[in-house]
Amino acid sequence: MSYVQTTLDRLQASSPGQNEFYQAAREVLESIRPLIEKDPLYSDQNIIERLVEPERQLLFRVTWQDDQNRIQVNKGFRIQFNSALGPYKGGLRFHPSVNAGIIKFLGFEQIFKNALTGLPLGGGKGGSDFNPKGRSDAEIMRFCQAYMSELYRHLGSTTDVPAGDIGVGAREIGYLFGQYKRLTASYEGVLTGKNINWGGSLVRKEATGYGAVYFAENLLNSRNESLDGKTCLVSGSGNVALYTIEKLYQLGALPVTCSDSRGCIYHDRGIDLALLKEIKEVRRGSLEEYIQQHPDARYLAVKDYPQRGHAVWHFPAQAAFPSATQNELTALDAKALIQNGVICVCEGANMPSTAAAIDLFLEAGLAYGPGKAANAGGVATSQLEMAQNASMTQWSFDEVDQRLQKIMRDIFTLSHQTAAEFGQEKNLVLGTNIAGFRRVANAMIQQGAV
């Protein structure tokens, strides 16, 4: 039995029912096999066994009062996965799908993503099964305050620095930070994604989307291609999708899709970004509103999606940017993308493609940018926010954006060179995972049995 299966069997026995975590672990463990076979040091030091177990897992009850004065109860999580390279860093997700397996998969991915940036960041993730949709601002504030009241004692600017994720935007970060400050009487950079007026960084909101596009451009340039003139499919309509669309326009591409939990829009003339921002950032509404102002666009409700697929991937294009959530792009979707002429898939979300879809991308020779590398722009800019907080300065938009571009270029170069080192130049799944693993594993070895 291989070390991969042995490790997965042990995880399934000790942490049952965490399928997303097993999926993330399998991808990494299978990718790093050439490194393990080449250098027995990693096996001798039991790095794999140590790496797949979080250093600390926090599970707590969050009780809060709704607008009808009823006491509500949610589960809160924080997985402090690995601190070999620096303080734990990773977002908080508020969504009804959140459970221990989701948080562990996200935290595990975060270890390698953060390592690839070259910045001093460990890996962690957190969140709750609280659903902010349909809740008033007052309810969201009370929930955030209750959540932080349980978590604050485990945070610190050199210990654990959360950020936002799905369901946690600038509003939620503000409420969380305010409660942390109240409880600790300390004004420190313990959260990133803060408002620009009180410690936030320019480009942070745009960073994950911009970074995914910068990565895609580097990836295509390596194949003598570019995004200029290409039709692009984008899923999602949160921060990542919005600013992926914005940067695609800036680089001369034409984004024609977006989606939310109810359905997707296909607009062959190009997505109306100003309207999309109005609907999602101001009104917090549904994409059904988009079609009211653009009757020439096409709206497909979730009930009309192909079985075991997502409609957004079934339109003609040359590049695709999955930017919504995990496992949103299936093998059926991958086949449709390939048949419809897509040559590049770059992941803005965390693990948005199933393992079967990834196999099809690699088999077809697509320019495929895995999420660990392609969506690292968000956490990279979070670290830039931490640096600005520590020095009590604020950098200009251009300065942060230039640093982001360099970080994404460096991540691509490292992943590409590592893949080439192991004889698979076009397999960035292998290159990304080995590069991230090697940096973390070497630090763990040098720090001893801790």
For the chain, how are helix, strand and coil distributed in percent, rounded to 5? 50, 15, 35
Distances (CA, A) of 140 to 94, 129, 145, 148, 233: 10, 13, 9, 12, 32
Rounded Cα distance, 416 and 426, in Å: 7
For helices 397-421 and 207-221, the axis angle rounded to 10 degrees is 50
Domains within the chain, CATH numbers bracketed: 3-186 (3.40.50.10860), 207-365 (3.40.50.720)
Rounded Cα distance, 212 and 222, in Å: 16
Distances (CA, A) of 445 to 54, 82, 323: 16, 13, 35
Of 262, 263, 273, 255, the residue nearest 320 (C-alpha)? 255
Distances (CA, A) of 309 to 34, 87, 233, 331, 443: 33, 38, 15, 8, 41
Cβ of 286: how many Cβ atoms within 10 Å? 15
In this structure, what DSSP letter does residue 68 have? Answer: T
What ranges in 194-281 are assigned the alpha helix state H? Answer: 207-221, 239-250, 273-277
Q: What is the pTM of this model?
A: 0.95
What is the token pair recorded at 157?
Answer: 């600017």
pLDDT the model gives residue 40: 87
Average confidence (pLDDT) per 10 residues, the chain, 450 residues: 84 94 96 92 89 97 98 98 98 97 97 96 98 96 98 97 95 97 95 95 97 98 98 97 98 98 97 97 94 96 96 98 97 98 97 97 97 96 95 96 98 98 96 97 95
Can you name the residues that pair with 123 across neighbouring β-strands? Answer: 82, 89
3 state DSSP class of 257 = strand
Which is catalytic among the residues 89, 104, 113, 125?
125
pLDDT in tens, 211-230: 999 999 999 999 999 999 99
In this structure, what DSSP letter does residue 306 have? Answer: P
Rounded Cα distance, 26 and 83, in Å: 21
Active site (annotated) includes residue 194 = no
Rounded Cα distance, 381 and 117, in Å: 10
Distances (CA, A) of 78 to 48, 182, 430: 22, 21, 28
Distances (CA, A) of 324 to 82, 234, 413, 439: 25, 9, 26, 28
Cβ–Cβ < 8 Å for 369, 220: no
3-state SS track over 148-187: HHHHHHHCECCCEEEECECCECHHHHHHHHHHHHHHHCCC
3 state DSSP class of 144 = helix
Rounded Cα distance, 347 and 377, in Å: 12
Rounded Cα distance, 230 and 398, in Å: 26
Amino acid 119 reads L
At 308, phi and psi to the nearest 5?
A: 60, 35
Find all residues with CB under 8 Å of 338, minimum gap 6, and list them: 360, 361, 364, 366
Can you name the residues that pair with 232 across neighbouring β-strands? Answer: 255, 319
